[in-house]
Chain A
Amino acid sequence: MMALPYLIIIPLFGVFSMPVVSLAGRKAREAWAALISGATLAVGSWVFYWVYRNGTILYTLGAKSPLGQGVDFPIRIVWEVDLFGALMVLMVTLVSFMAVVYSTGYMRHDTGLDKYYTLILILELGMLGIAITGDLFNFYVFLEIMSIASYALVAFRNDTWEGIEAGIKYMFAGSLASSLVLLGITLLYGQYGTLTMGYLAVKLSQNPTVTAKVALALFIAGLLFKSGASPVHMWLADAHPAAPSSISAMHSGLVIKIGGLYALARIAFSIYGASISRETVGWVIIIFACITLIVGNAMAVIQTDMKRLLAYSSVGQVGYILLGLGIGLAAYGSHTGEVALAGAIYHTFNHALMKALLFLIAGAVIHQLGTRNLNELSGLAKTMPKTTFAFLVGAAAIVGMPPLNGFASKWLIYESSALFNPVLGAIAIIGTAFCTAAYVRVLYTFFGRPSEKVLEAKDPEASMLWPMIILAIAIIVMGLFPWQISDRVMLPVARALEDQLAYVATLMGGG
């Protein structure tokens, strides 16, 4: 599969050439960023299609085979893209492209945009690297690329106090979380002498040690931080409102999923799958998931700041994904576990679309009105009808209304959690009740009597409107075929993730 490295090469080329292209002015820079992320989307879609048709890709850097000369273990960095990774690649490239196109209109009044477009492409690059890599240290490097770009982007508007405050909070705590991951990798390397994920899985199952358990605990701690799980969600509630909205859309839609949930799933299933008690790890994740569900959704209800509400709602939705992931681990091998895992992956993809849409809308509203305070936004439906309609779609989808895509993914999680343990099902329903309350409140505001502030507002320009419309259409179309998508894509993805033997065999077979 020779197209795979272009997933990294194209964004890298865009990043490195941006300072040169920027010299040609604003238009050139915007066109270049859109072109690069559009080309990445094309490659990402092709990679997904190829993996869907032909199965896992193994790509070795520097040679044809990952195995060393005369030895039977891998010595090189490998990229291994199974169906799960490929789905994440598609999600990242799609939402990033929308965010970049949106930025051309949204960021018009800011300065220092050469750095902005460089950073947004670096962010995309880091996330793609995490999704495709099969090497633990390579994973860490891409995790840091992603994290450092997001620290800088959260604090991008450095003339606002909240940007700096949120950036510092995120950076200090985030660096600590990354260093936990690095410490875990160090311990594993010291114990087993390899960094290739698939080969590490073999070594781990041959010789499970306490070191490996300590490393797993460090991974879970670091990655739960990155995914914004409660009780370490506090950075998220500050970072999302302070960042530019296109960046909030990428953070909430992508960064917390790739850097946290995807990595957690990959490490738990593909590396540790055979060498730990899946039930114990599953329950640890389930406990955090339940706390996250309740805290995130309940905090969303009481917010008056629109973007803060969306940020807490993201925390709540991460709770659902973690719940599905935890049940997928705890009930490994049963139908319930498989359905839960498929639901978690489905919800990851759906939530990326809908939360990106909602944050782009929040950005459009702020762009038009200059306020995020919900109390001042009543009656937006009159003056910004298209935006409000898109918000209606996004809010209904995130609550889980039947004709939209959020329904099927949440249904899978409810169903499996109720089958697994009715208490968990009840907690999930309580979370959704809070979530519904939060979004109904916002909608109620939008459809109220127009306040004076809202009267001069109008729908945003085309470059901001089109990403919103495309995401809304994607949500509606995905909502029309929920069970087809679930059976044809999400269940195979869940099976690919569960199948650790295939992951290892692809690596050791050399391709």
Chain B
Amino acid sequence: MSTTDGDMGVVVRTSARATIPLIGIFGAYIVAHGHLTPGGGFQGGATIAGAGILFLLAFGLEEMKRHFNKNLYSALEGIGGLAFLGAAMLGISVAFFYNTLWHNGPFFNGNPGTLLSAGYLPIMNLAVGLKVFTGLVSAMAGLALYRRWRG
């Protein structure tokens, strides 16, 4: 990979290579433990989006264009929303947002404090995390691609 105009230097790129996976894993941890520890879908999703933004800054717009697919990210954002709505509708026979997974199972109804507890909450956190990550990265990519400085 050659350094084109607007890229960062080799030190930044190398440390970005090391830190992007770490940021991603930490964000995924926050999303997955949203019902147990502080944080949740939004905070974790924004953290993972931070990894995406670091990629954009360290490797430049050309490299970003190669890896960023607008339709894929847009569709994933929609799917995140649909998953949230689907989780909210699981208990529709009682009420909208009724936590039927927690009350009746079959899964996510373990002991409180364990990872597989809290009913639909982990699903909703994953959905929100996906939506926030794809939305923020798309917004940043859209801004970075925005035509040019002068008309």
Q: Which residues of A contact B (CB under 8 A)?
A: 5, 8-9, 12-13, 15-20, 22-23, 59-64, 114
Contacts and interface: CB of A to CB of B under 8 A. Distances in A.
Nearest to A118: B78
A19 B77 contact: yes
B79 interface: yes
Given A13-B82, A13-B85, A19 B75 contact: yes
Contacts of B141: none
A9 B89 contact: yes
The interface size bin for chain B is: 10 to 19
Contacts of A64: 94-95
Contacts of A60: 95
A9 B85 contact: yes
B97 A61 contact: yes
B48 to A, nearest CB: 19
Contact of A23 (B75, B95, B97): B75
B96 A5 contact: yes
A425 B25 CA distance: 68
11 contacts: A5-B95, A9-B85, A9-B96, A15-B81, A16-B80, A17-B82, A18-B78, A19-B77, A62-B95, A62-B96, A62-B98
Given A62-B97, A62-B99, A20 B85 contact: no
Contact of B74 (A12, A19, A63): A19
A358 to B, nearest CB: 35
B97 to A, nearest CB: 4
The secondary structure that dominates the A interface is: helix
A61 B94 contact: no
Contacts of A22: 74
B146 to A, nearest CB: 11
Contacts, number: 48
Given A61-B96, A64-B94, 6 more contacts: A5-B96, A13-B85, A16-B78, A16-B79, A18-B78, A22-B74
Interface string B93-111: 0111111000000000000
B71 interface: yes
Nearest to B131: A16
A161 to B, nearest CB: 12
Contacts of A23: 71, 75
Nearest to B78: A19
Interface in B1-58: none
Interface centre among B81, B85, B95 (most CB of A within 10 A): B95
B145 interface: no
Given A18-B78, A63-B98, A5 B92 contact: yes
Contacts of B97: 61-62
A16 B81 contact: yes
Contacts of A19: 74-75, 77-78
B93 to A, nearest CB: 9
A16 B96 contact: no
A59 B81 CA distance: 23
Interface string B59-81: 00000000000010011011111
A8 B97 CA distance: 12
Contacts of A59: 95-96
A62 B119 CA distance: 12
A114 B71 CA distance: 11
| Complex A-B, nearest 4 residue pairs according to Cβ-Cβ distance, in ascending order | A16-B81, A19-B78, A5-B96, A19-B74
B121 to A, nearest CB: 12
A74 B92 CA distance: 20
B75 A20 contact: yes
B82 A16 contact: yes
B94 A16 contact: no
B90 to A, nearest CB: 12
A61 B95 contact: yes
Contacts of A62: 95-99
A22 B71 CA distance: 9
A239 to B, nearest CB: 23
Contacts of B95: 5, 59-64
Contacts of A61: 95-97
A23 B78 CA distance: 12
A485 B134 CA distance: 49
B96 A12 contact: no
Interface centre among B80, B82, B94 (most CB of A within 10 A): B82
A133 B47 CA distance: 33
A17 B78 contact: yes
Nearest to B81: A16
Contacts of B78: 16-20
A64 B103 CA distance: 14
A18 B71 CA distance: 12
B81 to A, nearest CB: 3
Contact of A63 (B75, B77, B85, B94): B94
A133 to B, nearest CB: 13
B81 A12 contact: yes
A62 B74 CA distance: 30
B15 to A, nearest CB: 34
A348 B34 CA distance: 44
B3 to A, nearest CB: 34
Contacts of B82: 13, 16-17
Contacts of B92: 5
Nearest to B96: A5
Contacts of A114: 74
B85 A12 contact: yes
Nearest to A22: B74
Contacts of A13: 82, 85
A154 B20 CA distance: 38
Contacts of A5: 92, 95-96
Nearest to B134: A19
Contacts of A12: 81, 85
A511 to B, nearest CB: 11
Contacts of A8: 96
B37 to A, nearest CB: 23
B123 to A, nearest CB: 15
